[in-house]
């Protein structure tokens, strides 16, 4: 019991050992020493709250925000002490903000609960008590045997026991996990593959031992012990035996598997890692401004308290005849009185901190993010994909990017490979009309004739056709199911009957090229691979696959040839193959590989090794020993692979072209003109990467290319960096480009970060090649944390780009051919690299300007709101008398001034979108958080104070001069009495303020829509209508009604109207003069562009957004 409690509290995790033991069909041992292990149930929980913890947990999260917590304290102070304003004035806005946020978060969590319940309640079939039982997915336990039918998804991580195929294999797709759409073959061990019926499975005695759950989708280490006739048979289990939750069964009627990882311990669930919360530069500025305003608030409260006691030093003001103190007040502690007065002033001035700022910013970000998805210019018609927003919190950060880190393959290029050239035994060949033609020769053989290929050429093509993980799909996908000749479908095949699927586009291009030339891969059945060499069928037995990994950068297969010999075929990067070759045309091939790379082709080197029977026995023993190891299996496999993949005979090399995406060059040039530095981070060899960089405009032909390559030691690397730094200072070249490889980068980052950064910052373009995924993230982090703290953006399309995307301030996924992992982990996703220009230069520009103005305007209007309250204390002996009615205090930020700024922040366009795209330099005007600089913030704050002084003293002077105040607080004019006292004066100030702050925003608005007009004039009209109703009727539920008939009487005075007009003009006229003066004498480039866009907006074709018919059809597709 104690252990269970400790587990629930998290002190004693259930997984004590490094491995878990799973008894198939939960057939536990009968002896008494067995202690069952605890495993998670099969429920998936993506929700954050439950019905019980929603209120406390949500409130806790919301009050972690400084502003919310501050207003809660103010509200509690109002409840505890006698304050000049009602607790409702701060409690109602706080309640509104908390409620709106809670409803939004609760609704989002309800949707997650709904999705979870659908998944957890899905029907599944489980073998129990000798029969198939239907149950819900959430009821699956570790050890249960689960049956999955064709096209169903796997409900848990299962070890494959058997399928309806005789060889116990099945095909799956993992598109929902890693985005790869190719068919993958998974295997069962021979001892369990024969158990194809429920009765056989019920009689199966087997135990699976495997590692505890981990997130790596491609790693699984285990073994299965099958007891047959009293004998225990041990077989290794690897990733090829594990069927992951979320994957889908294809081309197989049904399978049976034993559940080893369930629920939140499945690999899919472990990959639901919470991304670190990214915060934009605007949000950080906003928090800084809040602290400054908190300082202003405290200063005003302290000053008011001190002045109150200074004033009350005179007896006549300390206890005037009309306000005698009670005995309790006379005897109370002076310190407590001081604290109480300080808190009362704090409450009185607290509205200088805008509580509704947060909720308005959240609404602006959430609603504004829809514009990216609706933009037809970001819609890719061929793939029917629109841009998507995964994180709306970073919209404005798109307008602040200083560095772009981009992947090459699939991001700058199409990731559509075309075979172009190859090198075989030192001779270069190219493909012409489906034939291999040596360099310098033309294809003059008549069509239909069989090309003559010598032994080396044929062996090379066979290696390309057999060394891969390609799958084949046929017109009748079920033709492999069941018995019969597994290759019957390829008799007399044509290219119409089959299609190759591969996780790597390179592999697919090479296998298709070999097929066109005459050596066609026609399928796999069990451990047999079949090829057709110019119509003649050959069958090879697949003995072992040495899987590709990022460290070795090669993959190999060991086959038994039709003649009975054993051969290893291997292919990989030239740096991973050539050092291990001992025969063949090594130097010539190396030269050819470099030539291919200079043309921008992706290169692979192909080699082979023939084994003697004794050598193969040793190889087989080493591989089996490594694969059955439960501890350090990866290390032992690497040792075995290194032992096998040596003494290779070089066969040749291939060159595959990856086309550049459309408008990549124009996009990179636009980013450069916008002041954004572009870094390309790729895993390709440096010649290929440089060639592509030159062709896409990342490097210019006139650019001075600096190299930091193949550095062997720290000292060597440091010396080279110093040389490069000297060259940059000495060379009078406008632009430098830097090429660095992964090995040299590791050395540079280890000891010489500052020197490396100094070189990089003086280069306008940097290319990093031979990069591992984590190195990409390290480079981004290096720039991100440098002293200048630049805003970074990472863009990529593959799983290897995820770490870089998550590390950068803004991560963008490309919806490419390398899956959806990058898209799922990104903040934004687009279909093509060319869309990045509009995303940054237009959407980023708009979002930043909108939210920067929103934040500063909010502070401005709250300074205007509270400063008259502070000034009023000088006229009421600091008695904490409020200037405004409590209803006005409450509704100022919620109703009277909230909608115009929200609409402005959604629709404002300083410059026409086409002008922003055609003049990328305008992006520089808003870089480095220019519109939220301290100078701009100071301007808006001082403007607020100036306007507040005009509101207060303008009302005081104009109304005071025009009227004769009587002792009873009334004025006499034209033989009738008009109430003119505290509330009338406060209402006049408030009326002037609402009109002025609304019209101030109207002056800032450049792009007027019907909605702007509606909310601007509607807000002013709503204020007047509300005030008339509020003060014109006696409301029975109000205890006091100080405002009764005040507003009506105020508006019946001509002098009041005159005062309103004069004060509003006095406030705004200097603004208008300043704008006109600066625009004509010192116009910014943005203001010049505004005049240009106004001239060309009407009647110029290129300014037209879309033809109406095309816009309608495309919009229909998006919906």
Please name which of 682, 620, 631, 685 lies closest in space to residue 656, comparing C-alpha atoms.
685
The Cα 413–Cα 816 span in angstroms is 10
The Cα 345–Cα 1052 span in angstroms is 34
Task: Give the dihedral sign, CA 882/886/887/888.
Answer: positive
* Gyration radius from the chain CA atoms: 37
Give the tokens for residue 317: 């003001």
The Cα 752–Cα 1105 span in angstroms is 50
Around 614, how many Cα atoms within 13 Å sit in the side-chain half-sphere? 0
The Cα 458–Cα 429 span in angstroms is 13
The Cα 1107–Cα 1097 span in angstroms is 15
Give the tokens for residue 788: 């200048």
Query: End-to-end alpha-carbon separation of the chain, Å?
Result: 56
Full 3-state SS string of 658-689:
EEECCCHHHHHHHHHHCCCEEEEECCCCHHHH
Alpha-helix residue ranges (DSSP H) falling in 578-653: 586-598, 613-628, 633-644
Crossing angle (nearest 10°) for helices 753-761 and 742-751: 120
Helix (H) or strand (E) holding 567: strand 566-572
Give the tokens for residue 437: 């033609």
Determine whether 166 is exposed, middle or buried from the number of CB atoms within 10 Å of its CB (0-12, 13-18, 19+): middle
The Cα 19–Cα 212 span in angstroms is 5
Query: Catalytic residue among 407, 797, 827, 925, which?
Result: 407
The Cα 1026–Cα 1006 span in angstroms is 29
967-1005: buried (b, 16+ CB within 10 Å) or exposed (e) per residue?
Answer: eeeebeeeeeebebebbbbbbbbbbbbbbbbbbbbbebb
471 forms beta bridges with 501
The Cα 1043–Cα 983 span in angstroms is 7
The Cα 725–Cα 731 span in angstroms is 10
Please name which of 1084, 816, 1064 lies closest in space to residue 931, comparing C-alpha atoms.
1084
The Cα 895–Cα 348 span in angstroms is 20
Give the tokens for residue 889: 């205090």
The Cα 152–Cα 161 span in angstroms is 17
What is the three-class DSSP state of 324? coil
The Cα 256–Cα 204 span in angstroms is 12
549 is catalytic: no
The Cα 282–Cα 113 span in angstroms is 33
Crossing angle (nearest 10°) for helices 356-368 and 845-872: 160
Helix (H) or strand (E) holding 1113: helix 1108-1118
Give the tokens for residue 321: 């005849």
User: How many other CB atoms sit within 10 Å of the CB of residue 915?
Assistant: 21
Catalytic residues, which ones?
407
């Amino acid at each position: 019991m104690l252990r269970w409690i400790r587990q629930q509290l998290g002190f004693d995790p259930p997984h004590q050992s490094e491995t878990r033991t799973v008894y198939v069909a939960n057939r536990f041992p009968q002896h008494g020493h067995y202690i069952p292990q605890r495993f998670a149930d099969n429920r998936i929980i993506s929700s954050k709250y439950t019905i019980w913890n929603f209120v406390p947990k949500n409130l806790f999260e919301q009050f972690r925000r400084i502003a919310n917590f501050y207003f809660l304290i103010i509200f509690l102070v109002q409840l505890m002490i006698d304050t000049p304003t009602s607790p409702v004035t701060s409690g109602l806005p706080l309640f509104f903000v908390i409620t709106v946020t809670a409803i939004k978060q609760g609704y989002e969590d309800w949707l997650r609960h709904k999705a979870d319940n659908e998944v957890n309640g899905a029907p599944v079939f489980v073998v129990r008590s000798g029969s198939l039982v239907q149950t819900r997915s959430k009821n699956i336990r570790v050890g249960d045997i689960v049956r999955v039918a064709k096209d169903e998804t796997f409900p848990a991580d299962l070890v494959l026991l058997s399928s309806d195929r005789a060889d116990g294999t099945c095909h799956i797709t993992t598109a929902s996990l890693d985005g790869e759409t190719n068919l993958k073959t998974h295997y069962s061990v021979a001892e369990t593959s024969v158990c194809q019926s429920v009765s056989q499975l019920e009689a199966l005695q087997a135990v699976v031992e495997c590692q505890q759950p981990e997130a790596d989708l491609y790693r699984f280490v285990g073994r299965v012990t099958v007891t047959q006739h009293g004998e225990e048979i041990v077989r290794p289990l690897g990733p090829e035996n594990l069927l992951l939750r979320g994957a889908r069964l294809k081309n197989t009627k049904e399978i049976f598997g034993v559940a080893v990882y369930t629920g939140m311990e499945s690999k899919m669930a472990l990959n639901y890692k919470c991304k670190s919360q990214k915060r934009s530069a605007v949000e950080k500025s906003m928090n800084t401004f809040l602290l400054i305003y908190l300082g202003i608030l405290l200063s005003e409260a302290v000053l008011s308290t001190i002045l109150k006691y200074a004033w009350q030093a005179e007896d006549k003001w300390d206890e005037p005849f009309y306000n005698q103190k009670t005995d309790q007040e006379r005897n109370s502690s002076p310190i407590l009185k001081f604290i109480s007065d300080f808190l009362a002033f704090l409450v009185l001035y607290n509205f200088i901190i805008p509580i509704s700022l947060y909720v308005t910013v959240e609404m602006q970000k959430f609603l504004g993010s829809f514009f990216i998805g609706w933009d037809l210019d970001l819609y890719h018609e061929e793939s029917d994909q629109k841009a998507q927003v995964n994180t709306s919190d970073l919209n404005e950060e798109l307008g602040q990017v200083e560095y772009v880190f981009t992947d090459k393959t699939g991001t700058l290029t199409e990731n559509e490979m075309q075979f172009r050239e190859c090198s075989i035994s030192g001779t270069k060949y190219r493909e012409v009309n489906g034939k291999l033609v040596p360099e310098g020769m033309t294809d003059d053989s008549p069509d239909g004739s069989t090309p003559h290929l010598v032994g080396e050429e044929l062996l090379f093509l066979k290696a390309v056709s057999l060394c891969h993980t390609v799958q084949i799909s046929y017109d009748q996908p079920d033709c492999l199911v069941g018995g019969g000749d597994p290759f019957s479908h390829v008799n007399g095949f044509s290219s119409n009957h089959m299609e190759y699927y591969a996780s790597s586009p390179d592999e697919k291009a090479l296998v298709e090229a070999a097929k066109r030339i005459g050596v066609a891969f026609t399928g796999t059945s069990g451990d047999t691979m079949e090829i057709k060499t110019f119509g003649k069928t050959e069958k090879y037995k697949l003995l072992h696959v040495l899987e590709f990994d990022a460290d070795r950068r090669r993959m190999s297969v060991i086959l038994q040839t039709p003649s009975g010999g054993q051969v290893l075929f291997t292919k990989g990067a030239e740096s991973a193959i050539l050092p291990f070759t001992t025969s063949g045309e090594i130097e010539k091939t190396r030269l050819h590989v470099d030539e291919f790379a200079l043309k921008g082709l992706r290169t692979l080197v192909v080699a082979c090794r023939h084994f003697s029977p004794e050598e193969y026995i040793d190889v087989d023993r080493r591989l089996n020993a490594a694969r059955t190891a439960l501890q350090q299996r990866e290390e032992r496999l690497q040792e075995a692979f290194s032992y096998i993949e040596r003494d290779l005979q070089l066969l040749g090399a291939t060159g595959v072209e990856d086309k550049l995406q459309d408008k990549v060059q124009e996009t990179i040039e636009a980013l450069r003109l916008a002041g954004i530095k572009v870094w390309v981070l790729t895993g390709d060899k440096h010649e290929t990467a440089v060639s592509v960089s030159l062709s896409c405009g990342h490097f210019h032909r006139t650019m001075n290319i600096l190299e930091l390559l193949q550095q062997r030691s720290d000292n060597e690397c440091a010396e080279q960096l110093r040389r490069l730094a000297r060259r940059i200072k000495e060379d009078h070249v406008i632009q430098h480009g830097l090429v660095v490889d992964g090995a040299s980068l590791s050395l540079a980052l280890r000891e010489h970060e500052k020197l490396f950064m100094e070189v990089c910052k003086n280069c306008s373009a940097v290319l990093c090649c031979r990069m591992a995924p984590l190195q990409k993230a390290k480079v981004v982090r290096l720039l991100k944390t440098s002293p200048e703290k630049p805003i970074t953006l990472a863009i990529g399309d593959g799983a290897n780009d995820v770490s870089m995307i998550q590390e950068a301030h803004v991560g963008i996924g490309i919806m490419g051919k390398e899956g959806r992992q990058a898209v799922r982990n990104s903040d934004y996703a687009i279909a093509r690299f060319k869309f990045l220009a509009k995303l940054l230069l237009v959407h980023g520009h708009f979002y930043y300007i909108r939210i920067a103005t929103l934040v500063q305007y909010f502070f401005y209007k709250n300074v205007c709101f509270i400063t008259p309250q502070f000034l009023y204390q000088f006229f009421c002996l600091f008695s904490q008398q409020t200037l405004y009615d409590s209803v006005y205090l409450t509704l100022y930020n919620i109703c009277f001034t909230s909608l115009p700024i929200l609409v402005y922040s959604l629709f404002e366009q300083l410059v026409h979108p086409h002008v922003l795209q055609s003049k990328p330099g305008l992006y520089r005007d808003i870089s480095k958080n220019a519109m939220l600089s301290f100078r701009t913030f100071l301007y808006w704050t001082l403007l607020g104070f100036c306007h507040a002084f005009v509101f207060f003293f303008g009302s005081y002077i104009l109304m005071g001069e025009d009227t004769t105040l009587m002792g009873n607080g009334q004025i006499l004019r034209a033989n009738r009495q008009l109430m003119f006292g505290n509330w009338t004066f406060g209402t006049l100030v408030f009326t002037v303020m609402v009109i002025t702050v609304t019209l101030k925003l109207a002056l800032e608005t450049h792009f007027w829509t019907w909605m702007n007009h509606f909310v601007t004039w509607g807000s002013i009209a709503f204020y007047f209508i509300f005030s008339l109703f509020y003060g014109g009727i006696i409301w029975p539920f109000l205890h006091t009604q100080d405002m009764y008939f005040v507003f009506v009487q105020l508006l019946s005075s001509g002098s009041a109207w005159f005062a309103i007009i004069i004060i509003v003009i006095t406030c705004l006229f200097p603004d208008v003069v300043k704008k006109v003066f600066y625009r004509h004498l010192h116009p910014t480039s943005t203001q010049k562009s505004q005049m240009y866009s106004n001239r060309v907006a009407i009647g110029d074709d290129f300014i037209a957004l879309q033809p109406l018919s095309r816009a309608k059809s495309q919009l229909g597709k998006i919906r």
